[in-house]
Amino acid sequence: MNYFPDEVLEHVFDFVASHRDRNAVSLVCRLWHRVERLSRQRVFVGNCYALSPEILIARFPGLKSLTLKGKPHFADFNLVPHDWGGYVQPWIEALSNSRIGLEELRLKRMVVSDESLELLSRSLANFKSLVLVSCEGFTTVGLAAIAANCRFLRELDLQENEIDDHSGHWLSCFPDSCTSLISLNFACLKGEINLAALERLVARSPNLRSLRLNRAVPLETLQNILMRAPQLVDLGTGSYIHDPDSETYNKLKHTILKCKSIRNLSGFLEVAPRCLPAIYPICLNLTSLNLSYAAGIHGSELVKLIRRCAKLQRLWILDCIGDKGLEVVASTCKELQELRVFPSDVLGVGHAAVTENGLVAISAGCPKLHSLLYFCQQMTNAALIVVAKNCPNFIRFRLCILEPTKPDPVTMQPLDDGFGAIVQSCKHLRRLSLSGLLTDRVFLYIGMYAEQLEMLSVAFAGDSDKGMLYVLNGCKKLRKLEIRDCPYGDKALLTDVGKYETMRSLWMSSCEVTLGGCKTLAKEMPRLNVEIINEHDQMEIGSEEQRVEKMYLYRTLVGPRKDAPEFVWTL
């Protein structure tokens, strides 16, 4: 393969964009490995503990964009203790000491401190884009540093982070010379915002395409903002409450008519439904609608809104839409590709919920559906079989029946057949989350049919070690397996230890694995970190038969991590 000079190879590789393809390219031969790594600009690290910053920097000197993920997925549900890890500080320190001109940093489930943000903002001169998803540990002080020091900032996107709000002044820290903003999302901030500063910022950002406001931004300000930025493509409203007979509301109605580019709409964190008609004119253009935080829109108002959104491709809503509302979605949104239905009733107050009927209606009406997250009261095998037949294109299928181990309410059977139908029919399925009553049989089906499956989430399911073994044996492309409250023990864990090096990670909590089993695994597989989370000091060092409550293992190039807290044992 040495017919071409490096530049030609590089040019060819420019067309190879996806991480996986580029990783594959780098394995062909040494030459390709070298050319690829020197020209690589975007790197995705699915587990920040799988390698070290130094390794990354050494291999990819041209790095411009880095994505890092920290804590295991179940940390989202409070299953991982607070100080478990996932700190971004070492990465930022290493990057700032290197010659890497990083421009974009995307973090998920990591601990980000104000110091990290300040260091980032001061040491990376060309920094343009910061995206933080489900992170924690920082405050508006850190945001102020980013605003003040990143002269070429284009994107500041904060999604569902826990941020301590010390003041709304961070917005004022954007200097007047900052006119490069393209995307600003601070919807998750809980505190006040300097509204005047916000309006001025929008006014001097002609390239602004995406703006998501927080609850503290009132409708008057929204009106002013839309006047200045009718070119917005993505809008998240803040507080959407006003008197529909007011001057302000009337102005808003007219202003919105000019916003012909809006394709994504979200927010409505507080909403007065009688003000919704103002947005009707843009509904037909919408391809993405997120009302999953809009608890104030329900019933007929919600349905009226949805009926106008014929071009929706992505819809996130609360289950107060009900089965009837989902039927409206099915008949209106023929282009729907992704649907997420979240529960609204976590306090047990008895709001409407959805059942299998809503899902069946959706599957019948929306043949392009490929991604689903569905929280429901119940599900039947019959419904799942119909859904599988209607929608063979599922890539992500995540079903959460709210009551653990609930069977098919009609037949009282486990849901093995239903999920079996899904995996058999959906040949491109990459992600699956199970719920309801399930025996080992469903895992046999999964092992047999889910050939493309990469991520599987299991809770309260299965009868024996066989379940887990079917999956480990059958799913060749499995990368992430997370299991909680299942009866899998050491036999399941230890039968195929080599498998874990082909995966990113395995999480098992409230299962039957023992300390001895985990130790054996750790001994046989030195390139895995087998971590036990010993939260309440309940584990005794000597006793091998004691059950391990939480185990998280992952492959790594760099051995046990040095920042593990006391309650995390790396075996």
Interface of this chain with another protein, residues 318 to 347, rule: CB under 8 A: 342-344, 346-347
Q: Does 505 bind another protein (CB under 8 A)?
A: no
Q: Does 382 bind another protein (CB under 8 A)?
A: yes
User: Which residues contact residue 240 at a Cβ distance below 8 angstroms, ignoring those fewer than 6 apart?
Assistant: 219, 222, 267, 268, 269, 270, 271, 272, 275
Residue 562, token pair as written in the block: 């040095």
**What beta strand segments (E) does 288-386 contain?**
288-290, 314-318, 338-342, 371-376
Nearer to another protein, 498 or 542 (CB): 542
Q: Which of 296, 299, 392, 516 binds another protein (CB under 8 A)?
A: 296
Radius of gyration of the chain (CA): 25
Q: Does 495 bind another protein (CB under 8 A)?
A: no
Task: Return the half-sphere exposure (C-beta side, CA atoms, 13 A cut-off) of residue 226.
Answer: 32
219-228 vs 247-257: helix crossing angle, rounded to 10: 30
Of 52-60, 354-362, 400-408, 556-564, the segment contacting another protein by CB under 8 A is 400-408
Of 173-181, 326-334, 362-370, 397-405, the segment contacting another protein by CB under 8 A is 397-405
Q: Which of 448, 494, 525, 564 binds another protein (CB under 8 A)?
A: 448
User: Which residues contact residue 303 at a Cβ distance below 8 angstroms, ignoring those fewer than 6 apart?
Assistant: 321, 324, 325, 328
Alpha-carbon distance of 241 to 218, in angstroms, equals 7
Q: Does 177 bind another protein (CB under 8 A)?
A: no
Q: Does 348 bind another protein (CB under 8 A)?
A: yes
Shortest Cβ distance from residue 49 to another protein (Å)?
A: 20
Of 11-19, 94-102, 273-281, 553-561, the segment contacting another protein by CB under 8 A is 273-281
Q: Does 227 bind another protein (CB under 8 A)?
A: no
Of 159-167, 171-179, 319-327, 563-571, the segment contacting another protein by CB under 8 A is 159-167
Q: Does 192 bind another protein (CB under 8 A)?
A: yes
Of 52-60, 269-277, 281-289, 324-332, the segment contacting another protein by CB under 8 A is 269-277
Q: Does 178 bind another protein (CB under 8 A)?
A: no
Nearer to another protein, 18 or 411 (CB): 411
Of 59-67, 119-127, 214-222, 353-361, the segment contacting another protein by CB under 8 A is 214-222
Which residue's structure tokens are 């010993």? 534
Shortest Cβ distance from residue 270 to another protein (Å)?
A: 6
Q: Which of 457, 505, 520, 529 binds another protein (CB under 8 A)?
A: 457
Which helix (DSSP H) or strand (DSSP E) does residue 397 occupy?
strand 396-401
- Cβ of 251: how many Cβ atoms within 10 Å? 17
- Cβ of 141: how many Cβ atoms within 10 Å? 18
- Cβ of 245: how many Cβ atoms within 10 Å? 8
Alpha-carbon distance of 488 to 507, in angstroms, equals 12
Shortest Cβ distance from residue 267 to another protein (Å)?
A: 12
Query: Residue 288: helix, strand or coil by DSSP?
Result: strand
What φ, ψ does residue 536 adopt, rounded to 5°? -110, 30
Beta strand pairing call for 270-271 and 288-290: unpaired
Alpha-carbon distance of 288 to 337, in angstroms, equals 10
Q: Does 563 bind another protein (CB under 8 A)?
A: no
Residues facing 211 on adjacent strands: 184, 235
Shortest Cβ distance from residue 449 to another protein (Å)?
A: 9
Q: Which of 11, 34, 82, 254 binds another protein (CB under 8 A)?
A: 82
User: Which residues contact residue 263 at a Cβ distance below 8 angstroms, ignoring those fewer than 6 apart?
Assistant: 233, 234, 285, 286, 287, 288
Interface characters, 5-44, with another protein (x: CB under 8 A): ----------------------------------------
Nearer to another protein, 350 or 498 (CB): 350
Residue 439, token pair as written in the block: 């025996």
Shortest Cβ distance from residue 393 to another protein (Å)?
A: 18
What is the sign of the dihedral through the CA atoms of 259, 265, 269 and 275?
Answer: positive
Q: Does 460 bind another protein (CB under 8 A)?
A: yes
Q: Does 413 bind another protein (CB under 8 A)?
A: yes
Of 200-208, 236-244, 250-258, 555-563, the segment contacting another protein by CB under 8 A is 236-244
Q: Does 480 bind another protein (CB under 8 A)?
A: no
Answer yes or no: are the C-beta atoms of 441 and 465 closer than 8 Å: no
Report how far apart, in Å, the C-alpha atoms of 263 and of each of 209, 235, 288, 321 are: 10, 8, 6, 22
Q: Does 392 bind another protein (CB under 8 A)?
A: no
